[in-house]
A and B are shown apart, each in its own frame.
Chain A
Amino acid sequence: AQSVTQLDSQVPVFEEAPVELRCNYSSSVSVYLFWYVQYPNQGLQLLLKYLSGSTLVKGINGFEAEFNKSQTSFHLRKPSVHISDTAEYFCAVILSSGSARQLTFGSGTQLTVLP
């Protein structure tokens, strides 16, 4: 079975500071990895994903994430955050086998950017 752990439920950070949102997963087989963002009162929007290839993935809004297979991690980073980045961020995994259909989500990290 696969599971996803987001270690921090709340991350406050000052505007223009860097941020890292942590995500670890457990799976004995290959996975695809995703980060979604949910702005207040909206649905989830895909930030970035890792399917294969380069382990450093760039997404929208200046975010990037690095897949580390040995540490089973997929941490999300941004070098300088804006007030508008305040949102909840979800990490998710799906098995890469053709028969798998389910995304497993982490419990979410609330990023609050302070002026």
Chain B
Amino acid sequence: DVKVTQSSRYLVKRTGEKVFLECVQDMDHENMFWYRQDPGLGLRLIYFSYDVKMKEKGDIPEGYSVSREKKERFSLILESASTNQTSMYLCASSLSLLALEGLRGTQYFGPGTRLLVL
């Protein structure tokens, strides 16, 4: 069964702290994604990775960085947390679009991490 896990469900941090959000998938997927979800804005892509050590900026990368040292793990880093980064963070993974029909494109999501920055 497909599984994407995130290290924390809830996190409270102070302004200026360095924050690590971890995501692990056990499906051998090439692609991994980090989104933030805010009311009325839907999901916005922060960064994604299509292979180990490869990353690309999404729509809102400012204030974030990522790390993908192993295929199954994709980390989101807030170098210096700010209050406007209070949000729900969702991780997802997917197979390549070159995968078999029926499998391609579908993203599988983790349960989310609700981050509060004080």
Contacts and interface: CB of A to CB of B under 8 A. Distances in A.
A60 interface: no
Majority SS at the chain A contact face: loop
Given A43-B109, A44-B90, A106 B98 contact: no
B112 A102 contact: no
A68 interface: no
Given A44-B90, A98-B97, A107 B42 contact: yes
Contact of A52 (B41, B43, B101): B101
A97 B96 CA distance: 11
Contacts of A100: 97
Interface in A63-115: 90, 94, 96-103, 105-108
Interface residues of A, number: 27
B105 A34 contact: yes
A101 B110 contact: no
Nearest to A45: B109
25 contacts: A9-B40, A32-B105, A34-B105, A34-B107, A42-B112, A43-B4, A43-B110, A44-B90, A44-B92, A44-B107, A44-B109, A46-B106, A49-B105, A94-B105, A96-B105, A98-B97, A98-B98, A101-B48, A101-B50, A101-B56, A102-B45, A103-B33, A103-B105, A103-B107, A108-B43
Q: Which 7 A-B pairs have the closest CB atoms?
A: A107-B42, A43-B109, A44-B109, A105-B43, A43-B111, A32-B105, A108-B42
Given A46-B107, A97-B97, 16 more contacts: A34-B107, A43-B4, A51-B101, A90-B43, A94-B97, A94-B105, A96-B105, A98-B97, A98-B98, A101-B50, A102-B48, A102-B58, A103-B107, A105-B42, A106-B42, A107-B41
